[in-house]
Structure 1
Amino acid sequence: MKKLISLLAVFMFVGCSADGDTPDEQRATILSMSEEVVADVEQESPGAKDIIMKAPGYAVFSNAQVNLLIVAAGTGYGVVHDNNTGENTYMDMYEGGVGLGLGAKDFRAVFVFKTQAAMDKFVEDGWAFGGEADAAAKAGDKGGQTSGGVTIGDIIVYQMTESGLALQATLKGTKYVKNDELN
């Protein structure tokens, strides 16, 4: 059990920051990732970019997740973009949960806020709680995933797996928080 906890701790701290030595470099990395992910979502779901750009705002996150038997953990980073003001809010994410699972995956998520209030609540409160069941097997351009975009209240969520192998069914909580160093 000590090895499991140590592995999860190392994983949590390795995956929680964007590449770059300075805040400017990290912000540039996050914005580049955001543009790539929006383009990828458009390729997978034609018309999605139009929905994203016409919404009051959207968020894009890069997340790494590991599931070891009954424990799940993940970390990531991203940006919330306000389409009305052009303002970016840089955020980190942390998640933990319980359930059956084995594997690790690196995925990207886009949250499209259908109302300004939903975006403001996400930036200020940042909590999400829910269940997840999926199967993903991907390396480079090979493989695929089973995990679709969903609408939850005033938020549309698109999720794409970058790489990894995971089979999981978990109940988890996710905390999104402003990154004080990047804002």
Structure 2
Amino acid sequence: MKRLGWSWALWAMVALVGCGVQLEGSVAEQRRQVMAMESDTLSKLYSQHPGARRHVQAAAGYGVFDASGGKFLWGGMDHGNGVVVDNRSRRRTYMKMFELQPGLGFGYTNFRLVFVFDTREAMNDFVTSGWEFGGRATAAAKDDVQGAAGDLGYNVAPGINVYQLTEKGALVGLSVTGAKYWRNDDLN
């Protein structure tokens, strides 16, 4: 009976991963999808946190990611796509992300992350190395019309702050997270 429970949990996590962010079409179309997501996300961020606009504009650069994922009992994962923009050169680096979340929780969410890089070194390290480790306490419930989520900005590393905006879903959890961000060779 335990084997059936673990099999169901594994199946549920695999099913959740398949429900996430999917880029479709030609390279140019996929870039346009990411740029539209970036524009939409920054508009929402500035509306919800007016001080964030000044922070993003004064920074060395920023990254915007659209991610989906979930947790079931003792583990979870997220995945997504995004872009890092150098504010000085306007150079865009398209990226992917994957995150493991060992820890207690249950649910599924689609969310946006906005990384603000205070220094060029922090931005370049993120683009070339891309790792992020941290802890996360999450409580979110949101659909297309209403909901609430804990979406404040927080510092994840020296020179890097993150804002999380929940798009849709319901998730409650406590995790230690390990995320990998890497260049999307197909779009760069």
TM-score bin, normalised by smaller chain: over 0.9
For structure 1, the residue ranges without an aligned partner over 5 or more in a row are none
TM-score by length of 2: 0.92
Match of 2:82 among 59, 78, 85: 78
Which residue of structure 2 lines up, in the alignment, with residue 5 of structure 1? Answer: 10
Match of 1:37 among 37, 41, 46: 41
Q: How far apart, CA to CA, are the structure 2 residues paired with 1:11 and 1:137?
A: 16
Task: State the secondary structure of the residue aligned to 2:30.
Answer: helix
1:58 matched to 2:62? The reply is yes
Q: How far apart, CA to CA, are the structure 2 residues paired with 1:67 and 1:131?
A: 14
Task: State the secondary structure of the residue aligned to 1:17.
Answer: coil
Match of 2:133 among 121, 129, 132: 129
List aligned pairs for 1:1-183, cutoff 5 A.
1-18=6-23, 20-152=24-156, 153-183=158-188
Does the CA contact (< 8 Å) of 1:67 and 1:166 recur in 2?
yes
Q: How far apart, CA to CA, are the structure 1 residues paired with 2:138 and 2:43?
A: 23
Q: Kindly provide the amino acid, as one letter, of the partner of residue 72 in structure 2.
A: L
Does the CA contact (< 8 Å) of 1:66 and 1:72 recur in 2?
yes
Q: Kindly provide the amino acid, as one letter, of the partner of residue 84 in structure 2.
A: V
The structure with more strand, counted as a fraction of residues: 1
Give, in angstroms, the shift of residue 16 of structure 1. 4.8
Matched residue count: 182
Q: How far apart, CA to CA, are the structure 2 residues paired with 1:99 and 1:69?
A: 8
Moved over 3 A (4+): none
Give, in angstroms, the shift of residue 14 of structure 1. 4.6
Identity of aligned residues (%): 36
Give, in angstroms, the shift of residue 104 of structure 1. 0.5
Residue deviations 1:34-85 (CA, integer Å, cap 9, x gap)? 0111111100111211221221100000010210000111101100001111
Give, in angstroms, the shift of residue 147 of structure 1. 3.6
Does the CA contact (< 8 Å) of 1:134 and 1:147 recur in 2?
no
Q: How far apart, CA to CA, are the structure 2 residues paired with 1:146 and 1:47?
A: 17
TM-score by length of 1: 0.94
Task: State the secondary structure of the residue aligned to 1:92.
Answer: strand
